[in-house]
Amino acid sequence: MFPASANIIIIGGGVLGASAAFQLAKDGHQDIVLLDRGPLASGTTPFAAGQTAYLSVSPDRLPLTTYCLDFLENFADRTGYPIHFNQHGSLRIALTEAYLPELEAHQVAADQLGHELKFLTPEEAKELVPTLDVPDAKGIIFIARDGYVEPKSVAIGYASAARDLGVTIQTHTKVANIEVTEGQVKAVYTNRGKIQTKQIVVAAGAWTRQLAQRFGLDMQVVPVRHQAYVTAPLEDVAPRQPIVRLIEPQIYVRPEAGGLLVGGYGYRPVSFDMDEFPDRFEIAALEPDLIYYSRLHNAATTYFPTLRQAAVVQERRGLPTITPDAKYLVSTVTEVKGLIIATGCQVGGIQSSPAIGRMVADLISGQDYFGVLSAFAADRFESVYSDAQLRDQCETVYGNLYLQPH
Ligand SMILES: Cc1cc2nc3c(=O)[nH]c(=O)nc-3n(C[C@H](O)[C@H](O)[C@H](O)COP(=O)(O)OP(=O)(O)OC[C@H]3O[C@@H](n4cnc5c(N)ncnc54)[C@H](O)[C@@H]3O)c2cc1C
């Protein structure tokens, strides 16, 4: 039966909305409804590479590291649903001396948290990843606890655990608008009817800005297309080889089904206004940018010559959300009581999902477990960008994601 009212409504059943639903239910909140316009995890989440890169040099993100890592490493214990965390480490590679200080900063972060990090020679890196060709690299670090997950399994794991704790899940339920009276949330209007509530969490991924505009808010976040591809099986690709991150060409490469999954930043950043798409648009229908794919492939071939012969068997793309300062947007909203926004993952929503769900629950209970919520507040921006400026700035942020301190 479709609910007429709820204590908390979460809009969006991607990895963030599902994580928030789980954390809220785990905290003991009752009468929670999770809504999605499609099936669960049908937005950008299923297209992710699912990689983690926890040793952030950012003071806002480092406090989330231990919690997120511990959560993914013990996902089945936490949720009751197993995921496969392929935890074979990552290589972060500076091709020029300009990025050596960044690698050293990673060492400091690793020491601070007691994590294993080693500097490797190009020959040692090649032993781990035989198809990698970076003989002149200036610095290579190996981060032992990085890895990758199947992203959809993470979202479905959270949602299933949330359902077990009493959360009601309503799919094919699209929120058209929100009723706000005297600055307080009152209800959501969906294609299946109205639900009264005093607390809403908007975790609508690419649609978050558009939805917030419907009720008069200008959230500083936009969707930017991100693309990756997967090759057919290749000789010398080991299933347990680490992820490779090349800083200057902004490329990541990891094993996938015997082949390589290749993605990268800066190859042609394009942001979107979701109003440009038809109402029934699905992320799966996002057109490929073939120029981007071709530039990315040519660049990756320089460091992985084996890619020259590779047949592409799968393309992955979606619309992750970017903010003008490359920080998450996890916040209450001054203008509207009872509203929380959870988005702006900068192409890292899978890995950060445990902490973002936790922060949403903290915003509702008035806590700040990580002590970093003010860094992700919606009102942190000194100047509000116009639409065009915002898109421009977010494309720049996205296009330089590996080149900024990470
Ligand atoms: C190629 C690629 C590689 C990536 N690699 C990584 C990686 O290695 N590691 C990593 O951590 N991240 C990665 N990401 C980013 C990651 O996919 C995103 O950060 C994450 O999936 C965002 O999750 P979300 O829940 O915010 O959004 P989504 O998954 O898009 O979920 C939003 C949900 O909201 C629903 N919705 C929207 N509007 C409404 C409405 N009006 N009413 C009801 N429901 C609504 C949608 O249907 C959707 O299910 C990658 C992304 C791509 C595209």
Q: What domains, with CATH codes, occur in the chain?
A: 8-49+151-222+324-385 (3.50.50.60), 83-147+223-318 (3.30.9.10)
Q: State in Å: Cα 353 to ligand 1 middle.
A: 11
Q: Residue 71 — very low, low, confident or very high, per pLDDT cuts 50/70/90?
A: very high
End-to-end CA distance of the chain: 46
Express each pLDDT in 112-156 by its tens digit.
Answer: 999 999 999 999 999 999 999 999 999 999 999 999 999 999 999
- The answer to whether the CB of 202 falls within 8 A of the CB of 342 is yes
Q: State in Å: Cα 309 to ligand 1 middle.
A: 32
Give kind and range of the element (H or E) at residue 139.
strand 139-143
- As a whole number of angstroms, the distance between CA 216 and CA 206 comes to 17
Neighbours of 121 (CB within 10 A): 11
Give kind and range of the element (H or E) at residue 128.
helix 122-128
Query: Would the pLDDT of 393 be above 90?
Result: yes
Query: Would the pLDDT of 36 be above 90?
Result: yes
- The answer for residues whose C-beta is within 8 angstroms of residue 181's C-beta and 6 or more apart is none
Task: Quote the mean pLDDT of the chain.
Answer: 97
Query: Would the pLDDT of 10 be above 80?
Result: yes
Helix (H, G, I), strand (E, B) or coil at 143: strand
- As a whole number of angstroms, the distance between CA 14 and CA 33 comes to 14
Query: Would the pLDDT of 405 be above 80?
Result: no
- Given this model, what pLDDT does residue 384 score? 79
Mutate which of 345, 352, 360, 406 for ligand 1 pocket (most atoms within 8 A of beta carbon):
345
Express each pLDDT in 252-294 by its tens digit.
Answer: 999 999 999 999 999 999 999 999 999 999 999 999 999 999 9
- Given this model, what pLDDT does residue 113 score? 92
Residue with structure tokens 């042609």?
A: 268
Which of 40, 15, 28 lies closest to 172 in space, CA to CA?
Answer: 40
Residue with structure tokens 């700035």?
A: 393
Listed in order, strand segments (DSSP E) in 156-292 are 168-170, 175-181, 184-190, 193-196, 200-202, 222-223, 226-231, 243-246, 251-256, 259-264
Query: Would the pLDDT of 406 be above 90?
Result: no
- Label the pairing between strands 336-343 and 200-202: parallel
- The answer to whether the CB of 220 falls within 8 A of the CB of 389 is no
Which of 360, 27, 37 lies closest to 162 in space, CA to CA?
Answer: 27
Express each pLDDT in 288-302 by its tens digit.
Answer: 999 999 999 999 999
Q: State in Å: Cα 112 to ligand 1 middle.
A: 31
Ligand 1 shell residues, CB under 6 Å:
11-17, 35-38, 42-45, 47-51, 174-175, 203-207, 211, 226-228, 263, 316-318, 320, 343, 345, 347-351
